[in-house]
């Protein structure tokens, strides 16, 4: 695992965006696994800026997103399809038919999940998977205790995840209780993984995930077993790793 410590959120976003842009330049028709949430926003803003400058093109790139809320339409302002359109897809030259997000309104959730697994395999797998990490160590919506062998599946969201996402809704009561999510197996099958973390509130779980045992109770800990993982974080998120003696690059 390579670990890069950035001075702040802006520097972290630029460093992570550099890794993604290098992947796209090296392999223009690559498959990017994309994430939502507050942490990746700065990354997407940087990628859009480079695209607008003419430094980067996504014309041949394909994408698959990690997850989507059950019950939200693609046009709902809190759906992850809407997030991706607003923060990235509408501002770059990626072809709409090459962007893939799970359908939260699917009548048969199990078949939607199975079809997504087939889609990923049909694309040849994920070249680079972008991840964030939740306060309880979840990646995508794989919550503590979930089976590491799962592929895309229906998730019952924990109260801590619902509480963390409530800031995006008018009230906690409006946060969906279920989601469709890639499983740990999908994520671990990606050729490369880029995980980004920011803020003091992530420092404890980051240290636990990457210095402790691999355990289902901290889903991100499984990344210790992947052969090509890069962790990019700001000083606030990584300082406990540094204090624990873990080597980081500036």
Catalytic site residue from 68, 143, 151, 234? 143
Choosing from 138, 153, 165, 234, which is the catalytic residue? 138
* Cα dihedral value 29, 48, 126, 135, nearest 10: 180
Query: Which residues lie closer than 8 Å to 11 by C-beta, 6 or more apart?
Result: 234
Residue owning tokens 């790793």: 241
Active site residue 18: no
| Annotated active-site residue in 65, 67, 98, 112 | 67
Task: Examine the residue annotation and report whether 67 is marked as an active-site residue of this protein.
Answer: yes
From the list 60, 136, 178, 217, the catalytic residue is 136
Residue 90 designated active-site? no
Torsion angle (degrees, nearest 10) of CA 121, 123, 126, 128: 180
138 has catalytic annotation? yes
Q: Would you name the residues annotated as active-site residues?
A: 67, 136, 138, 143
């Amino acid at each position: 695992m390579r670990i890069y410590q950035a001075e702040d959120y802006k520097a972290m976003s630029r460093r992570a965006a550099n890794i993604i842009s290098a992947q796209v330049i090296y392999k223009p028709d690559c498959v990017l696994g994309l994430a939502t949430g507050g942490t990746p926003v700065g990354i997407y803003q940087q990628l859009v800026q480079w695209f607008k400058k003419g430094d980067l093109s996504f014309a041949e790139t394909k994408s698959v997103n990690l997850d989507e809320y059950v019950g939200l339409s693609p046009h709902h302002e809190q759906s992850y399809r809407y997030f991706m359109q607003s923060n990235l897809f509408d501002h770059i030259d990626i072809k709409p038919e090459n962007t893939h997000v799970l359908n939260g309104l699917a009548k048969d959730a199990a078949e939607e999940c199975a079809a997504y697994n087939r889609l990923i395999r049909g694309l040849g797998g994920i070249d680079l998977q972008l991840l964030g990490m939740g306060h309880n160590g979840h990646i995508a919506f794989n919550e503590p205790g979930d089976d590491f062998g799962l592929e895309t599946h229906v998730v019952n969201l924990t109260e801590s995840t619902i509480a963390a996402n409530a800031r995006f809704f008018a009230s906690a009561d409006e946060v969906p209780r279920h989601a469709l999510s890639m499983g740990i197996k999908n994520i671990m099958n990606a050729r490369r993984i880029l995980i980004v973390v920011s803020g003091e509130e992530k420092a404890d779980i980051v240290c636990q995930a990457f210095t402790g045992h691999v355990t289902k109770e901290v889903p991100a800990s499984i990344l210790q077993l992947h052969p090509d993982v890069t962790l990019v974080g700001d000083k606030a998120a990584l300082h406990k790793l540094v204090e624990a003696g873990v080597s980081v690059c500036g």
